[in-house]
Amino acid sequence: MAVLLLDKVSRWFGNVVAVNDVTMSIGPGVTGLLGPNGAGKSTLIHMMGGFLPPSAGSVTLDGEVVWRNEQIYRRIGLVPEREAMYDVVTGWEFVLANARLHRLDDPEAAARRALETVEMTDAQGRDISTYSKGMKQRVKMATALVHDPPVLLLDEPFNGMDPRQRLHLMTLLQRMAEQGRTVLFSSHILEEVEQIAGSIEVMVSGRHAASGGFREIRQLMTERPHQYTIRSDDDRRLASAIIAEPSTSGVQLMAAHGTEGFAARGAPSTGSRDGSSALHVQAVDFSAFVRVLPELASRHGIRLYEVTPADESLESVFAYLVAR
Amino acid sequence: MNATVARLTARSLLGRRRAYLLMALPGVLIVLCVLVRLLAGEDNDITVGILGGFALSTLVPLLGLIAGTGSIGPEIDDGSIVYLLSKPLSRHSIAGTKAAVAASVVTVFAAVPVLVAGLVLAGTSNGLAAGYFLGALVAGLAYATLFLLLAVVTRHAVVIGLIYALIWESLVGSYVPGAQALSIQQWSLALSAKVVGAKAQALGVTSAVSLGAAVPLLVVLAVGSTWYAGHRLRSLRLTSDE
Amino acid sequence: MSTPAEPRAAAARPGAGVIHDLGYRHYDGVRLGRAAITRALFVESAKGAYGLGRSTRSKVMPLLLLAAISLPALIIAVVAAVTAADKLPTNYTAYALHLQLVVMVYVAGQAPAGVSRDLRFRVMSLYLSRPLERIDYVAAKYAALTAATFVLMALPLTILFVGALLAKLPVGEQVPDYLRSLGGAFLTALVLAGIGLVIAAVTPRRGLGVAAIIAVLAVLAGVQGAVQGIADHENQDTFAGYAGLFSPFTLVHGVQSSLLGAENELPAGPPGALGGVVFLAVVVGVVAACFGALLLRYRRVSI
């Protein structure tokens, strides 16, 4: 079990508090560290990687303090954000050197394995200075994987990757997590985190704003009404029936092509996808509404074509947390 | 000592532009000495002037600065030192290996050319060549380790090192004799004087520091700098792009 | 934080878009031209060479060096005033020679600070995409470093001059020498700035530029000393006179002593009037060559 535990961790630089009283536990699986730029994600990862001491609190891996502890790197693989590497050596030599520095029994085999995992075997004979950004990121991954660590920390790993490379890295991270490793990566791009993170930790302005699966977080935010987009064969009648219900607080009829009205906060679309008209419902008691809707529809003889939660996405969660 | 760290350090230290500088400086020295020997013949005053006043006081510290800061400075600066630090390696081992590489580079590019220059200028007479070679050797070692430490501690290691080596040792030292007690140049000159032997005083190879003081000071400086550099590496903070 | 819905909504509505007036105002007034930009760059670079307009950290080194070079002058001036000496212990021109190390370290530190950083962080495109030509950029940077170095050398000379005046030394004697030394300071600044900037422009890596500039200047000084020594030894006076060509300080000193009538501090000065002209020609040649080299270097910089 490789569990990273942060206990009341704070970090300040002079007058600036970069991380403010954060307590979290990162266990096996893929965890996404999410937050806008300047939220303290990099600071947090540096502390977890043993490159920055916490000003208060403690960062431990399975009970061992990470700061000033060289042996902990047997169990941690770090993919740093900064691009610079030893430019004068080839990819193969660099990964091999990393394998040797880990005092592995068979550094060549480990290096070969790592390079195969990241699909860099074709270019491994070229100098690193000739690599593109995506290739450098892959070599960085290889150096982090070469010693088979149970914990992987990645600082903004998808930066500068094209879609194909991103997909490949996501598959790789998921594979690592399935093997029981603890994988933590930071990002400020919601789609990336949404796709592979089993649980997310949200950082906003140095504070730990939320943690857990994003659906669970969404459901916890009951102060905000839930939005639904509904398409049916008689929108207007359905709308008048819905607004009569106490579990809703607003209904909007979106005409075809969504030319009317404004989009409610957090809603990703103003009409249904194929441009026909749709209903936009704001539900204050979403569990009640969800029960009452099919009942209403069947009572009035209306056929429902589409019921979509309009803001059940990480984006709306995020927007809400940031605006709080 | 770690062979991999040494290999990586040597390759980045002897990268293109730095290598040109490292080769050009002793090259100029040797060419100069050849010309001097051809034009002026063998002359002790000129030999002492060039070896002591140019090689030992300017060339050796400069090469020590380039080698010492170059063996770790650029890596800390662009963040690639993370690849060395995120390994289960003792920081003292990293610092020690880099110091060894820097010292080797200084020996090859400074001390040996000083020996060659000395032989060109004065042959084996008076032991001048041997004396200055030894002086350059220990001075180079001391400078390399000191500047390595400086590069770990601050980002402005080169300028600070220059101010020490040129302004403190040469300028201030010539006006304020007390400053010479804290000068690597003087410590190494004490060794040179000892090798030159009896005629050292007459030839102008003198030091403001006695041999008994110079040797321990040099040893303490070299060992202490390397150890402290390793100690500081343990608490090196990495930041994102500055 | 506004949601991405609005831009997408705007895109989904064909032809019915509205742009809201947020009070953004265009600038319709007079736009200053190339000369003004160049002048602004010059002023900013010159101030930056002393850390003004930059972080506190960048002020430390230049001001430290300024203090280091002025302190002896201050001491001399005070001593002269207090002891009512009838002559300053050192010439103005000699002072500049004695403290050449400080000037060398200053140029070695500030030339990269002004030029290497723009190259290293690839912001040249920000400069060149304005009505600023490459030659303007080079001229502004060169002039700025020259001005800053000139100030570094002129300050202690002025302190000496003021001290001499306060010691009631005959003004008529002091003024010509003072002016000569200022002229020499200007020429030295020109030459050093040129050499420093050329080296800094080809070594963008942090730290390497500083070391390279000092290396070059130190080597030049060493070569000059050695050549002078040999020539003296061989009693080759003409040769010894021309040895001063090798190092910027002795080069300018040669011009000062032969053409401007200053006292010669070196073992041998440039021989005769021809020597003086040669020295001056070399000064001009070096400055022109450095400027040309910089232009060539910056021609290769792409936007």
- Measured CA to CA in angstroms, residue A198 lies from A24, A42, A177, A178, A184 at distances of 15, 20, 10, 11, 10
Average pLDDT estimate for A268-274:
47
Question: Quick check: B17 and C203 CB within 8 A?
Answer: yes
Mean pLDDT score, C215-229: 84
Examine the pLDDT at B229 and tell me if it is beyond 90.
Answer: yes
Enumerate the residues of chain B whose CB falls inside 8 A of the CB of residue A74: 88
Q: Does residue A196 register a pLDDT over 90?
A: no
Distance between CA atoms of residues A141 and A154, nearest Å? 9
Within an 8 Å CB–CB cutoff, is residue A96 touching chain C?
no
Q: What percent of chain A has pLDDT over 90?
A: 35
B226 token code pair: 């390397």
State what percent of residues in chain B have pLDDT above 70: 98
Give the Cα separation of C283 and B180 in Å (integer): 36
C22 interfacial to chain A (CB closer than 8 Å) = no
User: Which of C1, C2, C3 is the best residue to mutate to test the A interface, defined by the most A CB atoms within 10 Å of its own CB?
Assistant: C3
Residue C224, burial from CB neighbour count under 10 angstroms (0-12, 13-18, 19+) = buried
Contact between residue C301 and residue C123 where contact means Cβ atoms under 8 Å apart: no
User: Strand, helix or coil at C27?
Assistant: coil
Q: Is the pLDDT of residue A268 over 60?
A: no
**Closest chain A residue to B230 measured between Cα atoms?**
A68
Distance between start and end Cα atoms, chain A: 35
Residues C182 and C152: their CA atoms lie apart, in Å, by 11
Mark which residues 147-166 of B lie under 8 Å from C by CB: 155-159, 162-163, 166
The packing angle between helices C34-48 and C134-166, to 10°, is 50
Measured between beta carbons, which residues in chain A are less than 8 angstroms from residue B79?
A: 80, 82, 84
Judged by DSSP in three states, B18 sits in helix
- CB of B146 closer than 8 Å to CB of B225: yes
Please report which confidence band the pLDDT of residue A81 belongs to, taking 50, 70 and 90 as the band edges. Answer: confident
Chains touching chain C through at least 3 C-beta pairs below 8 angstroms are A, B
A76 touches chain B (CB under 8 A): yes
Question: Among the listed ranges A148-152, B39-43, C164-168, which one has the minimum average pLDDT value?
Answer: B39-43
In angstroms, how far is the first alpha carbon of chain C from the final one? 34
Look up the ipTM and state it.
0.84
For residues C45 and B197, the model is more confident at C45
Binned at pLDDT 50, 70 and 90, residue C77 comes out as confident
Interface test with B, best of C214, C227, C236 (most B CBs within 10 A): C214
pLDDT (0 to 100) of residue A311 = 67
Tens of pLDDT, residues C193-217: 999 999 999 888 877 888 889 889 9
Partner-chain contact C102 B77, CB within 8 Å: no
The token duo for C12 is 């989904």
* Lowest-confidence region among A168-177, A293-302, A314-323, B195-204: A314-323
pLDDT, position C10? 41
Report the gap between the CA of A112 and the closest CA in chain C (Å). Answer: 33
Distance (Å, rounded) from C-alpha A54 to C-alpha A119? Answer: 36
pLDDT at C16 over 70: no
Parallel, antiparallel or unpaired: strands A29-34 and A56-61: unpaired
Closest-CA distance of chain A to residue C49, Å = 27
Find, among C131, C127, C248, the residue nearest to C199 by Cα.
C248
- CB nearest C12 (choices: A258, A267, A322): A258
Chain A neighbours among B 83-102 (CB < 8 Å)?
Answer: 83-91
Indicate whether B48 pLDDT > 80.
yes
On chain C, the residues whose CB falls within 8 A of the CB of B46 are 226, 229-230, 233
- Looking at residues B78-85, what average pLDDT do you find? 90
Residue B186 has pLDDT above 50, yes or no: yes
Residues C262-284: what's their mean pLDDT? Answer: 79
pLDDT band for position C1 (cuts 50, 70, 90):
very low
Whole-number pLDDT of residue A165: 85
Residues 6 or more apart whose Cβ sits within 8 Å of residue A297: A232, A238, A303, A304
Token pair listed for A53: 């001491």
pLDDT of residue C303: 67
Lowest mean pLDDT among A126-130, A151-155, A307-311, C1-5: C1-5
CA distance C71 to B171: 13
Verify whether the Cβ–Cβ distance C207 to B70 is below 8 Å: yes
Output the pLDDT for position A218.
63
| Contact (CB, 8 A) for A66 and A48 | yes
pLDDT of residue C277 exceeding 60, the answer is yes
Quick check: B58 and C208 CB within 8 A? no
Confidence of residue C174 (pLDDT cuts 50, 70, 90): confident
B49-75 pLDDT, tens per residue? Answer: 888 888 888 899 999 999 999 999 988
Higher pLDDT, A48 or C130: A48
Average pLDDT of the residues in A207-232: 76
pTM: 0.79
Distance from the A322 Cα atom to the nearest Cα atom in chain C, whole angstroms: 8
Q: What values do phi and psi take at A250, rounded to 5?
A: -170, 145
Q: What is the pLDDT of residue B111?
A: 93
* CA nearest neighbour of A31 among A18, A52, A48: A48
Per-residue confidence at A316, pLDDT binned at 50, 70, 90? low
| C219 contact residues in B (CB cutoff 8 A) | 25, 28, 58
* Contact between chains at B235 and A68 (C-beta distance less than 8 A): yes
Name, in order, each residue with C-beta under 8 angstroms of B200's C-beta and a sequence gap of 6 or more: B131, B192, B193, B194, B206
pLDDT at position A34 over 50: yes
Q: What is the mean pLDDT of residues B114-124?
A: 88
* Digit-coded pLDDT (tens) for C178-195: 888 899 899 999 999 999
What tens digit of pLDDT does each residue of B139-158 get? 999 999 999 999 999 888 88
CA distance C168 to C86: 8
Longest dimension (CA), chain C: 93
Question: In this complex, do C226 and B54 lie within 8 Å of one another by their Cβ atoms?
Answer: yes
From chain C, which residues contact B within 8 Å (Cβ)? 61, 64, 68, 99, 101-102, 104-105, 108-109, 203, 205-208, 210-212, 214-215, 218-219, 221-223, 225-226, 229-230, 233-234
Contact B202/A at CB under 8 A: no
What is the rounded average pLDDT for all residues in chain C?
84
Q: What share of chain B is helix, strand, coil (3-state, %, to 5)?
A: 85, 0, 15
Q: What pLDDT, on the 0 to 100 scale, is given for residue A259?
A: 42
